[in-house]
Every structure is written in structure tokens, then in C-alpha cells.
């Protein structure tokens, strides 16, 4: 099949056409008379389909319907809310291949990564189903007789989830499936660069909601960040905004939401590093760093952007890494053995090239790659040769997250110095150490070690499982999503005191003689 046939077949198998509504508020808004955006594929730069965007009136309708739906949704017992998510998980299982292929078409991910993204959603669904029977509070001993104090968790209301292009489906589910079992309803504003996947995912969810006759927990508003995103951040009917994206946009959203004292979950940029010790198992370290740096063509928040290598093994390690870079297949991500697909658009290629120029100006030495590439048969695609640059921590460019496959390599002499280099950037999402030495591993994961939200030993900075709370510190924004107790972010905590006695004794021995 050529790409055109794959496009048609993928759309058809998901029940979609060339023009799709990007506005869902219990029904799909009509595509007539609405503006639309195109879904370009980074594989060949061609359009897969069009999606209509939400105008002002649509936005108002979405929020009103969401508020209305919340009043019914929150009354459904949590385990029954979980049953809907279980069925959505089942539907995702059935559509995993087709949805994965659409992720590949729209975001340029390899087949295994596209399907992996849908698997990540299925995993979150499973987690949310279990969670729906475990939304527990606490009981606290009261100082007063015949009093009971409990802490309970109550749904928040209409939450908004703003996602980026690189995980166009799963990041929504990290938030949406958890929020839904918690009793919230969710308005999704996907990236305009990956809105077709959002439409496809919403269609799957909607089918299940309708079949099981539940009130709608999920709503969709495709549109630009500058219009829909901005409105969401300023809308005091939305108590929680979860945003995944760049640091500057995250700061703006946070500012708007904070002005109205709403809550945010921010998952912003990473500048993740791996420390490779002289006590590392070389094979594991090379594969771990290569995966971290090359997966999704370096366009993950968790991508390895810096590698800090012990001087004793510096040459051996870099040589082996360059060898992997030389061997991996680049190009059409739909071919099964491709490892590095395209960047999302030409702007990303521009930023890639600009960062490399900047690095060279600052004294960096290009060890491999760094060029724009063309792939036979896909002249409109956005391909590059991933870059490895020898660098020093003084180089300002190494403090920035460039959303592209650029890996800066640093040298270190002792672990203290490695940790210092590691923690010297403004971001704090994910980190790794490759070592077989227990003391080094413990030091790196101790309070004196990595300052990130995620710290790994002998595994890549990228590729986190959903069971842990996902997120990072410093300019990464401090948010936590997905597993562990991240669910508490989607609920309000309420302290309840119940007096079942015949009197009303006061706390702190206060007397009130009336």
C-alpha cells in the first residue's frame, strides 16, 4: 500500500472521513459553516484530513454542556464510572492498530511507538478501573467526645486537558481517565498539530458512552492555543487546567489560572540527562541512551538531551553510540524497521538546525549528524540526521530544550561533578544513571542526587510506565499525572467533622457561655 492508500484505509477503518468535526459537546457539531484546520503528515507533508475548529459559540456550548453533564456524572458511583472506562479500554484494544497507525501518520511516530501510545492508554484505563474502587480518604481521631472526623475526596467539576502533539492520545488519557473515575468531566483541547488523533480517540470513547447510556464525561474543542487555550485558562468555571507543552506557554497558562486562583497541573519541558559511569554495563548504557535520545526523533518531554560520561570510558562510549546512530534506519515511520521518523514540521527542522549552529558557535564539536535530510519518495517530509555534539556545561544552548534529536555529550571525573552538571539546568523532568555500582546508584537517587521528578537506574530517561506519578520539578512545572496518588489532583479534599452527641463541645477547650 502506498501512503495515500494507507491514509484512506486508516480513516475508513476508524469511521472517519476527509472532513471531521473537531467539536464535541454530547453531539458532534456540524462541519458546515465552520473553519477547519488540516492534519499534515510529517512523513510526506501531505494532508490526511481536515478538522473543524471550535468558534466562540461552540466553546460556550461545550462548557455549558460539560457543567450540565458533570451534575449527572458525579452522581454515578465511582466503580460504575470505572465500568465505562473499562469498556473504553476494551474498545481501544480492538482499535489499537488503526489508532496507532493514525498516530504514526499524524505525529510521525514509528509503528511500534504509535501502537505503544495506544497501549499506554489501555494501561491507564486498567489503572483507572482499579482506582475507581480505591478512592479512599482518611479517618482522623477527634479530640471531642462523640465526634468523628474524616477526610474525603470530592469531584472537582469541569477540568480541562490541553495536550501537545508528541503524545497526542495517551497524555489525554493520563488525565482524562483518572479525572473521569474521580467524578470530573473533561474538556480536551488537543494540539492543532495532532487534532485528528484526538477526534479518532473521542469517537471511540463516544461510541462506548452512547452504547452504555452514560452521561458524557468527555468533550472536545479543537482550536488554537491562542483562542481556546487562552479562554480555558481564564474561565473560572474550570477549576483545574492540566497543560502539557512548552515552558513559555505553561507560564502564561499558569499565570491566567492563578489570577483566578484555579489549579494547574503543568507538564512542561525537560532537559533530561543520563550519567554513564565507568562502572556501567556498556551494552545497557549505549542502548538506553540511544533509545532515550532517538525515540520519537527526540520529541518526547522525556528525551535524553544530555549524556554525562565518565572520562575513562568517554571515547569507547561515544564511539559505540555513534555506531548505533550510523546503523539505525531513518525515514518512513510506517516501515517496520524504521527507528527514527520525521520531525513534526519544518519549524522543528529549523529549530534543530539553529540549535546546532548555536552550539558550534559556543564551541561545541559536532561528532555526528546535524543535517537536514531528504528521504527518497517523501520529498515533503521533515527529516534530519540526529546529532551528537561534544559540549561543556558552560554552553548556554545546553540549558535549552530543543524538541529534536540533539544529544550533548559532557565529560566528568567524579560522581559529585556529574551530579552538579546534571542538576545545572532549569528543567527537572527525567534522569538516569547507568552503573553497576550500588553506592553510585543510591547516591544518584538520594536527596543529594538527581533533582528531577523521575530518576532511573540502568534504564532510559524516556519510556516511563504509567503506574508512577509522572512529572517534574523546577521549570518542568511540578505537576504529577497518571499513576500513584496523582488522582488526588483531580479531586477536592474535604475535612468532615460529625457531632453525634447531645451537646456541642468546642475544640481547643474554648468556652462559649450562651
Q: Does 402 bind ligand UN1 (CB under 6 A)?
A: no
Exposure string for 134-149, b = 16+ CB within 10 A, e = fewer: ebeeeeeebeeeebee
| In the complex, least distance from residue 297 CB atom to ligand UN1, rounded to whole angstroms | 12
CA angle 403, 274, 417 (to 5 degrees): 120
Length of the chain: 514
Cβ 160 vs Cβ 189: under 8 Å: yes
Contacting ligand UN1 within 171-200 (CB under 6 A): 171
List the catalytic residue out of 50, 106, 115, 267. 267
CB of 166 or CB of 489, closer to ligand UN1: 166
Task: Tell me which H or E stretch contains 111.
Answer: helix 111-131
Which listed residue (159, 302, 402, 456) binds ligand UN1 by CB under 6 A?
302
CB of 166 or CB of 271, closer to ligand UN1: 166
For 455, phi then psi, to 5°, come to -135, 130
List the catalytic residue out of 301, 440, 452, 475. 301
Candidates 431, 373, 487; CA nearest to 130 is 487
Cell numbers of 218, please? 468527555
Cell numbers of 295, please? 525515540
Pairing assessment for the beta strands 372-375 and 378-384 based on DSSP bridges: antiparallel
Pairing assessment for the beta strands 304-310 and 406-412 based on DSSP bridges: parallel
Candidates 391, 403, 397, 398; CA nearest to 303 is 403
- Contact residues for 485 (Cβ-Cβ < 8 A; gap 6+): 469
Region near ligand UN1 per CB under 6 A, out of 141-149, 295-303, 392-400, 488-496: 295-303
Respond yes or no: is residue 301 known to be catalytic.
yes
Cell numbers of 5, please? 492508500
3-state secondary structure of 124: helix
Candidates 225, 464, 401; CA nearest to 241 is 225
Q: Does 308 bind ligand UN1 (CB under 6 A)?
A: no
| In the complex, least distance from residue 482 CB atom to ligand UN1, rounded to whole angstroms | 9
CB of 301 or CB of 348, closer to ligand UN1: 301
| In the complex, least distance from residue 176 CB atom to ligand UN1, rounded to whole angstroms | 15
CB of 257 or CB of 293, closer to ligand UN1: 293
Contacting ligand UN1 within 88-147 (CB under 6 A): 120
- Contact residues for 392 (Cβ-Cβ < 8 A; gap 6+): 363, 364, 398, 410
Q: Does 462 bind ligand UN1 (CB under 6 A)?
A: yes
Region near ligand UN1 per CB under 6 A, out of 13-21, 224-232, 278-286, 462-470: 462-470
Contacting ligand UN1 within 260-289 (CB under 6 A): none
Which listed residue (301, 308, 384, 421) binds ligand UN1 by CB under 6 A?
301
Q: Does 300 bind ligand UN1 (CB under 6 A)?
A: yes
Neighbours of 426 (CB within 10 A): 13
| In the complex, least distance from residue 164 CB atom to ligand UN1, rounded to whole angstroms | 6
3-state secondary structure of 348: helix
CB of 166 or CB of 431, closer to ligand UN1: 166
| In the complex, least distance from residue 300 CB atom to ligand UN1, rounded to whole angstroms | 4
CB of 145 or CB of 467, closer to ligand UN1: 467
Region near ligand UN1 per CB under 6 A, out of 192-200, 211-219, 294-302, 346-354: 294-302
Report how many residues bind ligand UN1 under the rule CB under 6 A: 11
Judged by the rule CB under 6 A, the positions of this chain that interact with ligand UN1 are 120, 166-167, 171, 244, 300-302, 462-464
Instruction: Please identify every residue annotated as catalytic.
Output: 267, 301
Amino acid at each position: 500500500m502506498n501512503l495515500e492508500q494507507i491514509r484512506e484505509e486508516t480513516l475508513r477503518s476508524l469511521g472517519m472521513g476527509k472532513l471531521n468535526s473537531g467539536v464535541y459537546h454530547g453531539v458532534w457539531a456540524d462541519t458546515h459553516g465552520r473553519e477547519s484546520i488540516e492534519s499534515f503528515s510529517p512523513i510526506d507533508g501531505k494532508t490526511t484530513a481536515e478538522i473543524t475548529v471550535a468558534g466562540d459559540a461552540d466553546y460556550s456550548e461545550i462548557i455549558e454542556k460539560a457543567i450540565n453533564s458533570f451534575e449527572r456524572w458525579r452522581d454515578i458511583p465511582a466503580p460504575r464510572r470505572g465500568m465505562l472506562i473499562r469498556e473504553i479500554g476494551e474498545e481501544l484494544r480492538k482499535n489499537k492498530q488503526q489508532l496507532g497507525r493514525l498516530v504514526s501518520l499524524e505525529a510521525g511516530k514509528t509503528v511500534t511507538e504509535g501502537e505503544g501510545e495506544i497501549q499506554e492508554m489501555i494501561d491507564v484505563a486498567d489503572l483507572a478501573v482499579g482506582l475507581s474502587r480505591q478512592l479512599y480518604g482518611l479517618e482522623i481521631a477527634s479530640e471531642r467526645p462523640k465526634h468523628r472526623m474524616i477526610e474525603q475526596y470530592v469531584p472537582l467539576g469541569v477540568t480541562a486537558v490541553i495536550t501537545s502533539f508528541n503524545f497526542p492520545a495517551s497524555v489525554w488519557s493520563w488525565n482524562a481517565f483518572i479525572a473521569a473515575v474521580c467524578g470530573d468531566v473533561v474538556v480536551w483541547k488537543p494540539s492543532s498539530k495532532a487534532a485528528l488523533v484526538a477526534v479518532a480517540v473521542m469517537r471511540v470513547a463516544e461510541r462506548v458512552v452512547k452504547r452504555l447510556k452514560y452521561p458524557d464525561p468527555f468533550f472536545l474543542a479543537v482550536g488554537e492555543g491562542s483562542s481556546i487555550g487562552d479562554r480555558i485558562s481564564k474561565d473560572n468555571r474550570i477549576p483545574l487546567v492540566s497543560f502539557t507543552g512548552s515552558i513559555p506557554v505553561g507560564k502564561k497558562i499558569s499565570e491566567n489560572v492563578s489570577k483566578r486562583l484555579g489549579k494547574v497541573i503543568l507538564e512542561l519541558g525537560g532537559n533530561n540527562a543520563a550519567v554513564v559511569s565507568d562502572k556501567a554495563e556498556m551494552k545497557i548504557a549505549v542502548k538506553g541512551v540511544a533509545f532515550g535520545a532517538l525515540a520519537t526523533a527526540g520529541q518526547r518531554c522525556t528525551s535524553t538531551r544530555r549524556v554525562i560520561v565518565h572520562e575513562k570510558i568517554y571515547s569507547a562510549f561515544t564511539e559505540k553510540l555513534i555506531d548505533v546512530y550510523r546503523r539505525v534506519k531513518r525515514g518512513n515511520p510506517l516501515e517496520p524497521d524504521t527507528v527514527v521518523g520525521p520531525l513534526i514540521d519544518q519549524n522543528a527542522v529549523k529549530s534543530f538546525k539553529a540549535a546546532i549552529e548555536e552550539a558550534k558557535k559556543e564551541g561545541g564539536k559536532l561528532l555526528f549528524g546535524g543535517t537536514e535530510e531528504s528521504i527518497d519518495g517523501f520529498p515533503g517530509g521533515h527529516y534530519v540526521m540526529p546529532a551528537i555534539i561534544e559540549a561543556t556545561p558552560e554552553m548556554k544552548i545546553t540549558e535549552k530544550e530543543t524538541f529534536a534529536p540533539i544529544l550533548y555529550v559532557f565529560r566528568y571525573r567524579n560522581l559529585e561533578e556529574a551530579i552538579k552538571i546534571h542538576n545545572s539546568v532549569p528543567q527537572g523532568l527525567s534522569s538516569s544513571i547507568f552503573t553497576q555500582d550500588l553506592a553510585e546508584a543510591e547516591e544518584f537517587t538520594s536527596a543529594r542526587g538527581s533533582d528531577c521528578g523521575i530518576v532511573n537506574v540502568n534504564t532510559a530517561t524516556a519510556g516511563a510506565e504509567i503506574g508512577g506519578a509522572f512529572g517534574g520539578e523546577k521549570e518542568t512545572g511540578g505537576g504529577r499525572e497518571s499513576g500513584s496518588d496523582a488522582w488526588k489532583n483531580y479531586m477536592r479534599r474535604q475535612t468532615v467533622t460529625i457531632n453525634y452527641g447531645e451537646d456541642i463541645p468546642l475544640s481547643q477547650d474554648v468556652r462559649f457561655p450562651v
